[in-house]
Amino acid sequence: MIAISTSRALRPTFFGPQLEGTAGGRGYLDFGGAVVALTPPGGPRLPNGVETAFRPSLGTAVRIGLGRLQLGAEELTPGPAWEPVPVVHVRPSGGRGPRPDPERLAGRGPGLTPAGDDILCGYVAGLFLFHDRRAEAMEIALAAAARTTNLSATLLRHAAVGELPEPAHAFLATGDPGPLAAFGHSSGACLRLGLELAVDSDG
């Protein structure tokens, strides 16, 4: 099988040494703490995502590397690359507030990715995209990653280098909040809040 698309950020993993992992629920594959997401065709793409209709059963042994993703007896090649770093044409209206604290927010709140993590993802992505404060973004992301789930930790590391879920791309390209508002139960709203807090963040 060929993936419909694969995040550009995953290509080094696809073509690197082989890693072994396990299929979790909802299309998430855990490779020793680094999570790869299998996203449905036409659904919101993720910076750690592979777009495909295939879903392995829970607990299936999976492998990635050497140019392929093995899902039990099935084998998937990467297909076209999708760029997870958005092009920023419209900065969101700045939200004045305290600097989000990873010790207070990481792993906190409802959702598959806790709401606090989503705020932090938006904030560190904003530091990278709006201010080029790369070291600070990564420092916050790594501090939060140590306090939360493997999925959130993976997304935080991606966000620290400006890589965001597809609905955030539309928001930063056109200012349209619709796709982001519809993303997840609260993930989109929390990502937006984090991005807004980053706009006027003092260096």
Report domain extents, the chain: 5-82, 102-199
Q: What is the pLDDT at residue 170?
A: 92
Q: Which of 191, 51, 38 is nearest to 113 (CA)?
A: 191
- pLDDT (tens digit, 9 = 90+) per residue, 95-138? 666 788 888 888 787 767 889 999 999 999 999 999 999 999 99
Task: Note the pTM of the prediction, 2 decimals.
Answer: 0.94
Report how far residue 140's alpha carbon sits from residue 100's, in angstroms, rounded to the nearest whole number.
9
Strand-pair category, 19-23 with 28-31: antiparallel
Which tokens hold the place of 117? Answer: 């993590």
Report how far residue 77's alpha carbon sits from residue 87's, in angstroms, rounded to the nearest whole number.
27
Length of the chain: 203
